[in-house]
Amino acid sequence: MRVDEVFKQAASQGTAPISFEMFPPKGELTLDTAREVAGNLCKLSPSFVSVTCSAGGSGNGAATAPIAHMITSEFDTPSVAHLTCVGRSHADIAAKIDEYRTAGVENILALRGDLPAGATEDDKPASDYAYARDLIPELVDAGFCVGAAAYPEGHIACEDLNLSVEHLKQKQDAGASFFVTQLFFDNECFYRFRELADKAGITVPITAGIMPFMGKSQISRMVFMCGASLPSPVIKILAKYENDPESLQAAGVDYAARQLCDLKEHGADGLHLYTMNRPAIAATIMERLG
**Highest-confidence range of 44-58, 130-144, 213-227, by mean pLDDT?**
130-144
- Residues whose CB is less than 8 angstroms from the CB of residue 225 and which lie 6 or more positions away in sequence, other chains included: 114, 156
Using the predicted structure, report yes or no on whether residue 281 has a pLDDT greater than 50: yes
pLDDT band at 158 (very low <50, low <70, confident <90, very high): confident
- Looking only at the bridges linking them, the beta strands covering 79-84 and 178-181 are unpaired
Is pLDDT above 80 for 124? no
Residue of 84, 83, 80 lying closest to 67 (CA atoms):
80
Q: Which amino acid is at 146?
A: V
Residue that wins the pLDDT comparison between 13 and 32: 13
What b/e sequence results for 172-198 when a residue is b if at least 16 CB atoms lie within 10 Å of its CB, and e otherwise? bebbbbbbbbbbbbbbebbbebbebbe
Percent of the residues in the chain that have a pLDDT greater than 90, as a whole number: 76
Residue 285 has pLDDT above 80, yes or no: yes
Amino acid 225: pLDDT: 82
Q: What confidence score (pLDDT) does residue 121 get? A: 52
Residue 3 binned pLDDT confidence (cut-offs 50, 70, 90) = very high
What is the CB-side half-sphere exposure of residue 259 using CA atoms within 13 A?
A: 29
Query: Mean pLDDT across the stretch 261-285?
Result: 97
pLDDT at 227: 85
- Is the confidence at residue 21, as pLDDT, over 70? yes
Between 121 and 191, the more confident residue is 191
125 with 160: CB under 8 angstroms? Answer: no
* Catalytic hit among 21, 106, 138, 153: 21
Residue extents of the structural domains in the chain: 1-287
Q: pLDDT digit string (tens) for 37-74? A: 999 999 999 999 999 986 444 445 688 999 999 999 99
Residue 153, amino acid: E
246 is catalytic: no
| pLDDT per residue as tens digits for the range 68-103 | 999 999 999 999 999 999 889 999 999 999 999 999
Quote the pLDDT of residue 57. Answer: 42
Residue-level pLDDT at 120: 52
- Whole-number average pLDDT of the chain: 91
Q: Each residue of 101-125: b (16+ CB within 10 Å) or e?
A: eebebbbbbbbbbebeeeeeeeeee
- At residue 197, the pLDDT reads 98
Q: What is the pLDDT of residue 53?
A: 87
Beta strands in 74-191 (DSSP E): 79-84, 107-111, 145-150, 178-181
* CATH class of the domain at 1-287: alpha beta
Residue 131 has pLDDT above 50, yes or no: yes
Banded pLDDT at 28 (limits 50, 70, 90): low
Q: What is the mean pLDDT of residues 247-270?
A: 97
Q: State the DSSP code for 68.
A: H
